[in-house]
Homo-oligomer: A and B are copies of this chain.
Amino acid sequence: MTEDYYAGIDIGGTTVKLAFLTETGELKDKWEIPTDVSENGKHIVDQIAASIQSRLPQHATLLGAGVGAPGFIEMKTGFIHHAVNIGWRNYPLREELERVLGVVVRVDNDANLAALGEKWRGAGDGAEEELFITLGTGVGGGIITRGQILHGSSGMGGEIGHITVIPEGGAPCNCGKTGCLETVSSATGILRMAKEKLTTNKDSALHRFEEGALTTKDIFDAAKAGDALAKDVVSEATFHLGFAIANLANALNPSKIIIGGGVSKAKESLLAPLRLVFKQFALPRVSESAEIKLAHLGNDAGIYGAVWLAIQAKATQEEEMLGKSE
């Protein structure tokens, strides 16, 4: 008797993470291969297919694959306009993978897939209305409404990191604007604020960290231990994040607000101040129906979300085939 497998694929600039999952979200295998960026990434798809085929157990059948990809993706077609790190330009990733794997393939971006993964098998508990935020080098986001990713009219849905939180005089952001949420609540932003304050403050406990060794978790820990400078930084980062989330929640009314990424390693030291700000700016009914939680799946969230997407696509395909044969 054969077992049904789905492949989850997370394509990064240096490695491709791969996994086999069952339809119920049981992780059967997980491995990595290096990302071959030679010749503008033209070998990647074949290498993924070869790796999946050699790793697929004899008793298993591959039914579909979901892929998290970098760059700007056209969601409906899985077409990559441009992925700088890899070299793809106008690359039909979904079509290519469907050709070599012979199964249905779906493609989306990392943050959207992580949102779906957390909904399906993580902190989302299957919530149909979810706001997912990842605080890493940048601030990424994924919004789920009626159980599906909100892509918006041109695939920009969920760009929560570029909500403006400082209308005037904010720090410059990679997007070209200033004062984006990403400039104050990402790991990069939090470290920048701490370093700026450290130049004029001699007493902070944060001075004991060597140049480059300071992490956002150190800052949250120092704030918890009472360090004034660290408290200022945490207060600033959580105020803007809580304010942005509360305003989004007033419009979206999610039941789960899930925080992931490196900064979320601070756990309750992050969530406790965040919940206070959220409650202050969210409508009472909105606040009562929303739970703010830490992400559960870490770096695997995207793999789970990718497989969930592939399972949905397979089901839709079967329904359509059934419809046609009637």
User: Which residues in A have some Cβ–Cβ distance to B below 8 Å?
Assistant: 127-129, 141, 143, 145-146, 148, 150-160, 162-164, 167, 175-177, 243-244, 246-248, 250-255, 281, 283-286, 288-290
Contacts and interface: CB of A to CB of B under 8 A. Distances in A.
B281 A250 contact: no
Nearest to A240: B167
A18 to B, nearest CB: 30
B145 A243 contact: no
A82 to B, nearest CB: 13
Contacts of A254: 152-153
Complex copy number for this chain: 2
A250 B177 CA distance: 12
A156 B141 CA distance: 21
21 contacts: A143-B251, A146-B146, A146-B148, A150-B252, A152-B252, A152-B286, A153-B253, A153-B254, A153-B290, A154-B286, A155-B253, A157-B251, A158-B251, A159-B253, A160-B250, A162-B250, A163-B247, A163-B251, A164-B247, A244-B247, A248-B248
Contact of A159 (B146, B167, B286): B286
A156 B285 contact: yes
Nearest to A256: B153
Ranked nearest first, the 6 interchain pairs of A and B with the lowest CB-CB distance are: A152-B253, A153-B255, A156-B253, A154-B289, A129-B153, A157-B253
A289 B250 contact: no
A170 B206 CA distance: 36
Contacts of A246: 164
Q: Which of A162, A163, A244, A251 has most B Cβ within 10 Å? A: A251
A253 B153 CA distance: 6
Contact of A243 (B150, B155, B164, B288): B164
A167 to B, nearest CB: 6
Contact of A167 (B153, B281, B290): B281
Nearest to A243: B167
Nearest to A239: B167
A84 B148 CA distance: 35
A289 B156 contact: yes
Contacts of A141: 251
B250 A153 contact: no
Contacts of A153: 127-129, 253-255, 289-290
Q: Which of A153, A255, A281 has most B Cβ within 10 Å? A: A153
A143 B177 CA distance: 25
Nearest to A290: B153
